[in-house]
Amino acid sequence: MARWEADATGRLREAALELYVERGYEQTTVAEIAQRAGLTARTFFRHFADKREVLFGGTEALREQLVRGLAAAPESASPLQAVAAALEAAAAQLGRHHDRSRRRQSVINAHPELRERELIKMASLATALADGLRRRGVGEPDATLAAEAGIVVLRVAFERWVAEPADTGLSRAMTEALAQLRTVTSAG
């Protein structure tokens, strides 16, 4: 086995996802993931803290994408409009791999430990959005409400998108979910 392997992170992610779908998350070991990827368990641990993190390794990049999208929103944008801009930026990143996202979500949905980790990830994204809104001068509770609403839109749109039989576009699903949120909140 070579000491240096091109795209070890990507290969480990794909191998883990394949094994989680084939055998189940709990029945899959780090050694099996590394072997499937043509790497060693030691290499696995250079890239991921544990086998759970293979599914959540892109969280920081997603957070950065959301924050950049929020910062790029026009100054005149309302808090929810700024969050919508952040969601659009996130859709560009998240919406690239429909089949992989669908398989990943099926693994997460099947395991309470992974669902909990997904909720922690969503909470950290909401915190990042709220912080970004406060930097834009949005006060409380508006910043937190808009950020949390944005994360609900993200979750609903993402779940709808991965459930679709064909790739209809995450951006479209987010736009529709945001429109539904506006309808629900204006009716109240």
User: pLDDT by residue (tens digit) across 109-136?
Assistant: 999 999 999 999 999 999 999 999 999 9
The dihedral built from the CA positions of residue 47, 51, 53 and 57, taken in this order, carries a sign that is: positive
Which stretches of the chain drop beneath a pLDDT of 70? 1-6, 166-167, 187-188
| Domains by residue range for the chain, with CATH | 8-54 (1.10.10.60), 56-186 (1.10.357.10)
Helix, strand, coil percentages (3-state) for the chain, rounded to 5, are 75, 0, 25
